[in-house]
Structure 1
């Protein structure tokens, strides 16, 4: 019997978007200010990027678990758990940074406590993404899956747009002010989800015919997951060294660096949002075709960033990268969701949510080390990764869909 899907209504979509947008704003705030803030507390570039990388590894390991848990206990409680964890974790992480700025903690001790705090936060906050994605999959038909995932993707895009703008405005009150704002916003989002999001019906959460646990190597989804990991290795390499690049090339102060880094990330996010609300809604392409177009745009953007000497040129490169991300990630989420059964939606959503984090494990570490050798090497590394993934996916698509 064919499953009857009840499409997401305006209230459900709005609440999901708010929860994901709160997380997106918080993450973009961290990315915009961590480079100058880390230098203010005397951490090296490699130490700063390693905090992101190791916490991303924890996030990647935890996400599939939360996806499977949401299959058993429901999507709504897991979404709320993630937002609560994000709130508490952000307050603790910011408080440790305050101790560093105040001289109460420094050196390896500060680095270690920041690492532990951020990793602890990642374990819990990784619950929101997979549970939200699975909730959307539960309430969208296969024919509407790509468009639904694109709409959900706009939440993160709006967060990435608003986050840098908020960061630049609040940075005038100090580099920690944006982080405390992010904690309050995620707490508000958790309250709204608790009060307004209808729970997933119990019959949608269990399977009468239990399946073998879904794995990253499953041939139905491995090309989507590998493509997502690759594109985020390249994207995170540029994103996490962007503040260093701007500060060194333009001789900026810490606050000026946070503001200009935020502006560059906001430009990228605007083009991500535009791709998701225009191209993803109007073009009728296979998920793998959207993914390949996205990687091509990311490749062009990385090459422009690598050769940029002025902010205006760098902004063009970030626009290409934002457009590529807007095409690629909804395609990964939709393609992987359509490739598996109804009972596997939570598991596959957890795996898709883990892919960006896996990319952030490798990208920042490689980029941080390369940046210390020569600044442009970080963006050139990204370009090489995008090219490799694009070639591999093109060969796969040609084999799967011969002309």
Structure 2
């Protein structure tokens, strides 16, 4: 049901803050996970397994939270996700702390890190579908692209601040950014609890509609979305290894330069979403089609580059492409279905990044162990397939 409220500015701003908080928390982790994992004796594939297992959990659980938001309400599901993410991150950081102090052997630490991260992901999966569905409820179809673009932009603002602040806090300790992100997320959760309006109950009395990934209205977008996020996950997981091994950096310096690179990427995406997307009158699938060659250029630079400037330039270009692709994907799946399926489709769309991140980190780490450039050429090939896929797809969205 899409029923814009008479005064929804406060609701929109609260959703944007929630998206920014999650963007902050996620990019802080990606900036420090690789060097932190190596500090406690984990190898590349083991570090990738932590993200892959949690992302697989997000993929499986996210649609359930989307339908739960249809039944229980967007607000309560969003709050469960925010508070749950905060609590889970504290436990996750505690395991890392114990391993750094020598209280846990590497293998025991790996098992506990996977278990705690999976538990964290189970509740964290509530944030994306509930926020997207809430935004869909308070915007008209005509405003949908701008609304989803605003959520993406807010996430990118958090993604900019996360690596920047995380890089500074890593000078204190590699775990300090995680503890700081908990404080940020709790603060936003408390704000949402008191300021986010409760939406009217849906008028339909039947059970929330279920959607399948193979629903012909959204299946082409789902395929493109999974491959899109898988390629980006490969970069996020391996870029720290690339910097550390190519330039012989220690853990702290690696966290700083990776944080700065992720900040550049997110800033580029934000610039596109704020200045370009609102002015384009292109269909969602056309945006995806436009973004693929841009990101393929970034992968080629990451594979063949030899300097820090080249790697950071590639991250900038990658951010530009993602800034175009993200709103196209989210708006495309939203406008493809009816108003009373928004919670369900938000859950499915929210599961696409986790599915990509379930495969990408583990695959990227394995390919990196074979050859440092291989993950990026593989991603290049995947995006080339998506590009040809979008060319053959008849534009309905």
TM-score bracket for this pair, using the shorter chain length: over 0.9
Give 1:328's aligned residue. Answer: 325
Give 2:165's aligned residue. Answer: 166
Cα pair 1:7 1:140 within 8 Å, conserved = no
Q: 1:139 to 1:298 in 2, by over 3 A?
A: same
How many residue pairs match? The answer is 397
Q: 1:105 to 1:7 in 2, by over 3 A?
A: farther
Give 1:258's aligned residue. Answer: 255
Distance 2:361 2:334 in 1: 28
Cα pair 2:209 2:340 within 8 Å, conserved = no
Give 1:232's aligned residue. Answer: 229
Distance 1:120 1:90 in 2: 10
Matched, 1:270 2:267: yes
Q: CA RMSD in A?
A: 1.5
Q: 1:182 to 1:239 in 2, by over 3 A?
A: same
Distance 1:318 1:131 in 2: 29
Shift of 1:380: 0.9
Shift of 1:307: 1.1
- The residue correspondences of 1:282-293 to structure 2 (distance < 5 A) are 282-293=279-290
- The residue correspondences of 1:97-136 to structure 2 (distance < 5 A) are 97-136=96-135
Give 2:199's aligned residue. Answer: 200
TM-score (norm 1): 0.96
Partner-residue secondary structure (3-state), 1:240: helix
Q: 1:54 to 1:350 in 2, by over 3 A?
A: same
Distance 2:250 2:387 in 1: 38
Partner-residue secondary structure (3-state), 2:393: helix
Cα pair 1:298 1:324 within 8 Å, conserved = yes
Partner-residue secondary structure (3-state), 2:142: helix
Shift of 1:332: 1.1
Give 1:248's aligned residue. Answer: 245
Cα pair 1:265 1:318 within 8 Å, conserved = yes
Cα pair 2:61 2:125 within 8 Å, conserved = yes
Give 1:190's aligned residue. Answer: 189
Shift of 1:107: 2.1
- The residue correspondences of 1:74-89 to structure 2 (distance < 5 A) are 74-89=73-88
- The residue correspondences of 1:30-45 to structure 2 (distance < 5 A) are 30-45=29-44
Shift of 1:5: 3.4
Distance 2:181 2:325 in 1: 27
Give 2:277's aligned residue. Answer: 280
Partner-residue secondary structure (3-state), 1:142: coil
Q: 1:3 to 1:132 in 2, by over 3 A?
A: closer
Shift of 1:7: 7.2
Give 1:22's aligned residue. Answer: 21
Post-superposition CA distance 1:33-74 (Å, at most 9, x none) = 000000000000000011101110001111100000000110
Partner-residue secondary structure (3-state), 1:172: coil
Post-superposition CA distance 1:183-240 (Å, at most 9, x none) = 11111111000000101111x3x52465752110000011111111001111110110
Matched, 1:294 2:291: yes
Provide structure 1 residue ranges, at least 5 long, that are not aligned to the other structure. none
Give 2:153's aligned residue. Answer: 154
Shift of 1:163: 0.5
Give 1:384's aligned residue. Answer: 381
Provide structure 2 residue ranges, at least 5 long, that are not aligned to the other structure. none
Shift of 1:6: 3.6
Distance 1:327 1:207 in 2: 35
Distance 1:363 1:271 in 2: 22
Distance 1:125 1:211 in 2: 21
Q: 1:56 to 1:194 in 2, by over 3 A?
A: same
Distance 1:186 1:47 in 2: 27
TM-score (norm 2): 0.97
Distance 1:328 1:377 in 2: 24
